[in-house]
Structure 1
Amino acid sequence: MKNFSIGMAIALAANSAWTSPALAQAEPSPAMPLGNPGSWITTADYPPMALRLEEEGIASFRLRIGVDGKVKECTITSSTGSELLDEQTCGALTFRARFRPARDADGNPTEGSYSSSVRWEIPSRSGGGNEDLSLSMRPSANLAEFVVDFAADGTVAGCELIAVEPANGLAETIQNQFCQQYEYSGFQVTPYTDDDGNPVSRRARIRFSTTIEEIPESEAGQ
């Protein structure tokens, strides 16, 4: 599948005038991305139904960044025309995007904002594109095992695919499609408790098995 990109543009002003450190006052600074913004959304995040419906588009967004560098709010400022793609854009960004928080003139962390866009694009339908898309939607025999960690307050602390058989290039897609239901949009469960009723953290180990079988002759054509 062809990669799509997140276009980022941040302008920084440079002041060449020298000021005594004792008299210097910090300039307000904007929230800055940590790591590679291109990793916040990948083609593995493409919603399966959007692929089936062949939905594409560019989603422009604005993020409200908290003093802890996490996304507090995501707003789609220009829609792709697909509710699925718009929701996936904000879901992935809210979960993955992290920033060096903005700072005020006194150098204190403060809320900030960040705006950019994501292009969702399906591979060309020429040269076997339809066949590739159909294969990506076809179930295959596999065994997948996940671990989902829940914090004492019931929030999801982590989700990871720890095994997939047979090993193949779909591991990232499988993990994203399963884990997003827990990790996106602040998902929270009723906390687990110990024998005394106190909230505790717990790890859930989940296994899925898919088998491909022949249809019995007695059921063929039904």
Structure 2
Amino acid sequence: MLAVLFLVAAADTPGIVQTDIIQPPKLRNAAKVLSYEDYPDAALREGAAGVVSVALRVSSEGNATSCAITETSGYEVLDKTTCQLMLRRARFDPARDAHGAPVSGDFHAATSWGVGATFPTTNVKLDLNVNQLPASYRGPVKATVLFGETGRVIACDVSDSSGDASADQAVCAYATRQLALAAPRAVGDLVPAVAVRYVIASLHLQQPPRHD
């Protein structure tokens, strides 16, 4: 199985969030960018698997103009295939600035290549106990998270709210404090290393201790 998870983040250079962008680039055709049929035959035969994180530069016209490998899978064929297909197939609505004008920005994506037991996950599932559930809480928080060159969180963006803004913020704060990865390796000396992961965090009411 091949899974593709996309994270939107706007930046001047890959991995550095651009603060004047109000609406980052939006991928219009996520389901059509990559599929299992795209798995390179040579990689399948060799059992090559891994996660590839990339930063696509998206122009103000919505075209992907460049692709940088910010986290290598360790296999050149998987890295190159990811960039080639995303540049060829991805279609975007461009980023927008505070005035609503289209501007260029970066779109970060993580792609998992693997089959069966070799399939690496890009999901991070969290179960967090709280003393009180917010009244407006309706379900798990989904957030896309960027990990920098040290493996620590450098950005957290809520993609699907729990229904409560304070709960969403608390999840990102927890992720920033507690989550870490092995330091990602980029391809190229001038490319900042950035790994993309997808956090799904559920809040649970902490049960009081029993006194028998």
TM-score, with length taken from structure 2:
0.47
User: Larger relative contact order (C-alpha < 8 A, sep ≥ 6)?
Assistant: 2
Structure with greater strand share of residues: 2
User: Which is greater in Rg?
Assistant: 1
TM-score, with length taken from structure 1:
0.45
